[in-house]
Amino acid sequence: MTLTTSAPAPPSNPLRRKPLRQALSSPAGFVGFVIAVSMVLLGILAPLIAPSSPEATAFDRIFLPPGEGGLFGTDDLGRDQLSRVLYGINASVTIGLLSVLLSAAIGVPMGLLAGYFRAADAVISRIIEVMMAFPALIVALGLAAILGPSATNVTIALAISNVPGFARIIRGEMFRLRGQDYITASVALGASHTRVIGTHLLPNAMSALLVQVTVTIPNAVLGEAMLSFLGLGIRPPAPSLGTMLSNAQPYLQSAWWMAVIPGLAIMAITLAFNLFGDALRDALDPKSQRR
């Protein structure tokens, strides 16, 4: 009789358990998903559905309240608030998504190397600890001040400030997974480091990565709004939810809609991604699968 030696089968990939369907079965997750998708679509379709140019001024239409001056009223220069909010959502969502993707592109390889190779961990962990010694928004603020105000520089600043979060999450997943029997057996059977990482470790760490993405996006949106509010983000007259809030400060009592409407847009984006992220985290949690 011939004995065949093979590596133990790896655990089932959480992504194959249809977590999206389970996350959407939660009322909070469903509401968050619908609002998040709606906000993304509004941002994408802004050039098509905006009633006018967000930078077009009309001095005979200044401070018109919602209804008289369009759906969301007009601002101190007679600009249509609906158009500016739509383009502001476009800017916030675009910068949020791009900065998070860039953060993941840098942080995930750092976490993989630190969690799998002990020699690399000694160096990368120190870099992560130094970066995490400062709040992410403070790091983004400093980088934006150095690079100068622009959409590209804000994206880079937010991306760098969120790198430690991705690196730390993936490093922890590597520590958890690399001691599993199927990893030890794969290495013993001659699998290369690249094959072990790409075939076994990274796919089983995707659940934590997806949750980190959904958690980081609202933080990036808030970061963009904060930097634009302080004059370190998107330059006026280009529309941004943060610059709209900054511009509305002197008119809080006389033209409340100038601050309330962009503020509600920021709240809707961040709340939607947080609700969906929490539901997705619960769906991807192996413990919840046993209930």
**Is residue 145 in a domain?**
yes
pLDDT digits (tens, 9 = 90+) for 226-285: 999 988 888 888 889 999 999 999 998 889 999 999 999 999 999 999 999 888 888 876
Question: Per-residue pLDDT averaged across 175-185, rounded?
Answer: 74
Residue 149: which pLDDT band, with cuts at 50, 70 and 90?
Answer: confident
**Is residue 9 in a domain?**
no
Q: Indicate the range of 37-41, 175-179, 285-289 predicted with least confidence.
A: 285-289
Token pair in block for residue 106: 């840098």
pLDDT at 5: 46
**Is residue 124 in a domain?**
yes
Question: Per-residue pLDDT averaged across 5-11, rounded?
Answer: 50
**What total number of domains does the chain contain?**
1
pLDDT at 2: 44
Which domain, by its residues, includes 70? 28-285
CATH number, domain with residue 203? 1.10.3720.10
**Is residue 219 in a domain?**
yes
Distances from the Cα of 213 to the Cα of 34, 142, 218, 222, 276, angstroms: 17, 23, 9, 15, 11
**Is residue 34 in a domain?**
yes
**Is residue 164 in a domain?**
yes
Question: Which residue did the predictor score with more confidence, 196 or 26?
Answer: 26
Question: Per-residue pLDDT averaged across 124-152, rounded?
Answer: 86
Q: Indicate the range of 142-156, 168-182, 212-226 predicted with least confidence.
A: 168-182
pLDDT digits (tens, 9 = 90+) for 205-226: 888 888 889 889 999 999 999 9
**Is residue 230 in a domain?**
yes
pLDDT at 132: 85
pLDDT digits (tens, 9 = 90+) for 63-121: 999 988 888 989 989 999 999 999 999 999 999 999 999 999 999 999 988 888 888 88
**Is residue 1 in a domain?**
no
